[in-house]
Amino acid sequence: MDLQNYLIDHAKLDWPSIREWNWLLPQFYRVCLLTRAGDIFIETPGGSVQMLDVGSGELRIAAGIRQ
């Protein structure tokens, strides 16, 4: 299984201009992955990785940092 088969290259997308989900996303984040299903994995300044599930409209923690 090649993970790249399930991802879209998001490097050239202008994320600040994509407003549909801005109300749900934190103010500061870095996009890590964009799936072919449209789900977005982001990293927050605190180090957690969150997944925006566009099907359900939910932002969920996918991975966190142990304190």
N-term to C-term CA, the chain: 33
Tell me how far the alpha carbon of residue 65 is from its chain's centroid: 17
Tell me: the pLDDT tens digits for 11-51? 888 877 777 888 888 888 999 999 999 899 999 998 899 99
With tokens 């799936």, the residue in question is 35
pLDDT digits 0-9 by tens, 44-57: 998 899 999 989 99
Residues in the chain: 67
What are the residues whose beta carbons fall under 8 Å from the beta carbon of 16, sequence distance 6 or more? none
The residues spanned by each domain of the chain are 3-9+24-63
